[in-house]
């Protein structure tokens, strides 16, 4: 056992990411805060014939889940020396303690189910996330892009960019002075931003500013978008007829079809191959029906 021979990065080519295609909730908060957003798992696995790492992970998970009943962010370390594992969780700033506990309570099983014995993992739900890594695991920068999703619908109304950018400006100021979390509305644009709990105000503002510039580049004039960086994330939704009430958002009326684009394209390639196989099968059936 021991450390891998080379430093590992959470976003190196050795990571597998889940590409998701489907319906995503809008940026407006809803009661369904346990939907899977994405996962990142190191390809390197624990070399664990004696079970020491498994025994180290369990108390780490137990400690993090226990702390989530009283606060929305915390870190913990389990084990000693090169066998130690560090982890953290964070809940969305508008969740209650009980909601945070419910959300975080689902993450240990998901980490194990989705990432197996990976030496580092990150699982993001719509209301919380958890990550852990073996001692010595190389971290990426705070503003490294982990995941993005852009709405397929484009804004057709004039003035959309000005409204969106004003809302972004409010959000950047809000996270600096609001414990790293901000949610608000400006002229039918709903925005949400959050930084990891140990970031200072100015660093948080810089991270969110980077996310804002990234979402402008990546999503263009899409009426909704989400950007997840290593230490912060933002989301926005534009509602031409007005931001819906909480009950409307919860009923699913504000969802729209989106395509999630994740760093790494292995899963997307597999999806494309599957589609081609389906088309090929359909053509064969069509050809056979003519004979």
Q: What is the pLDDT of residue 245?
A: 66
Which of the listed residues 134, 156, 181 is the one where a domain comes to its end? 134
pTM exceeding the 0.95 threshold for the entire prediction: no
Strand partners, 250: none
78 and 186 together in one domain: no
Joined together, the tokens standing for residue 145 give 């892009």
94 and 189 together in one domain: no
Calpha distance 153→238 (Å, rounded): 10
Q: What is the pLDDT of residue 177?
A: 84
Q: What is the pLDDT of residue 248?
A: 40
3-class DSSP state of 23: strand
Q: What is the pLDDT of residue 82?
A: 85
Number of domains into which the chain is organized: 2
Q: What is the pLDDT of residue 258?
A: 40
Q: What is the pLDDT of residue 179?
A: 86
Q: What is the pLDDT of residue 230?
A: 96
CB 144 within 8 A of CB 228: no
Which whole-number Å values give the CA distances from 38 to 19, 122, 129, in the listed order? Answer: 7, 8, 10
161 and 255 together in one domain: yes
111 and 186 together in one domain: no
- State the alpha helices, DSSP H only, in the chain: 52-67, 97-105, 107-115, 160-177, 201-219, 246-250, 266-288
Q: With respect to residue 121, please indicate whether it lies within any of the assigned structural domains.
A: yes
Q: With respect to residue 286, please indicate whether it lies within any of the assigned structural domains.
A: no
Q: What is the pLDDT of residue 134?
A: 93
CATH of the domain at 29: 3.30.430.20
Tell me which residues of the chain have a pLDDT lower than 50: 1-30, 247-290
81 and 157 together in one domain: no
158 and 249 together in one domain: yes
Q: With respect to residue 287, please indicate whether it lies within any of the assigned structural domains.
A: no
pLDDT, tens digit, for every residue of 159-169?
999 999 999 99
Which of the listed residues 87, 113, 134 is the one where a domain comes to its end? 134
Q: What is the pLDDT of residue 31?
A: 55
Q: What is the pLDDT of residue 47?
A: 85
Q: Is 190 left (phi over 0), alpha (psi -120 to 50) or beta?
A: beta
CB 263 within 8 A of CB 17: yes
Q: With respect to residue 229, please indicate whether it lies within any of the assigned structural domains.
A: yes
Main-chain phi, psi angles of 99, to 5 degrees: -65, -40
161 and 121 together in one domain: no
172 and 115 together in one domain: no
157 and 258 together in one domain: yes
Which of the listed residues 108, 134, 160 is the one where a domain comes to its end? 134
185 and 115 together in one domain: no
Joined together, the tokens standing for residue 112 give 């194990």
127 and 187 together in one domain: no
DSSP letter at 9 equals B
Range of the domain at 230: 145-265
Q: What is the pLDDT of residue 246?
A: 53
């Amino acid at each position: 056992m021991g450390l891998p021979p080379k430093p590992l990065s959470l976003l190196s080519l050795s990571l597998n990411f889940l590409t998701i295609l489907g319906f995503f909730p809008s940026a407006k908060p809803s009661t369904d805060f346990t939907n899977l957003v994405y996962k990142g798992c190191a390809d390197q696995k624990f070399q664990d014939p004696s079970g020491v790492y498994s025994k180290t992970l369990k108390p780490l998970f137990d400690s993090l889940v226990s702390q989530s009943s009283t606060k929305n962010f915390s870190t913990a370390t389990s084990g000693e020396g090169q066998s130690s594992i560090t982890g953290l969780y964070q809940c969305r700033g508008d969740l209650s303690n009980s909601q945070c506990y419910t959300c975080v309570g689902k993450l240990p099983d998901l980490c194990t189910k989705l990432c197996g014995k990976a030496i580092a993992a990150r699982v993001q739900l719509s209301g919380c996330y958890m990550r852990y890594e073996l001692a010595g695991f190389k971290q990426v920068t705070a503003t490294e892009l982990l995941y993005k999703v852009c709405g397929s619908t484009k804004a057709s109304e004039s003035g959309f960019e000005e409204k969106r950018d004003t809302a972004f400006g409010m959000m950047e100021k809000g996270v600096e002075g609001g414990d790293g979390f901000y949610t608000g509305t400006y002229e039918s644009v709903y925005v949400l931003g959050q930084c990891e709990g140990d970031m200072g105000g100015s660093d948080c503002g810089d991270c969110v500013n980077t996310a804002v510039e990234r979402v402008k580049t990546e999503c263009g004039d899409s009426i909704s978008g989400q950007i997840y960086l290593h230490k912060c994330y933002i989301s926005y939704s534009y509602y031409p007829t007005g931001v819906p009430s909480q009950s409307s958002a919860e009923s699913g009326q504000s969802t729209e079809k989106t395509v999630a684009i994740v760093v790494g394209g292995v899963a997307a390639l597999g999806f494309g191959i599957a589609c081609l196989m389906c088309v090929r099968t359909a053509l064969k059936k069509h050809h056979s029906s003519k004979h």
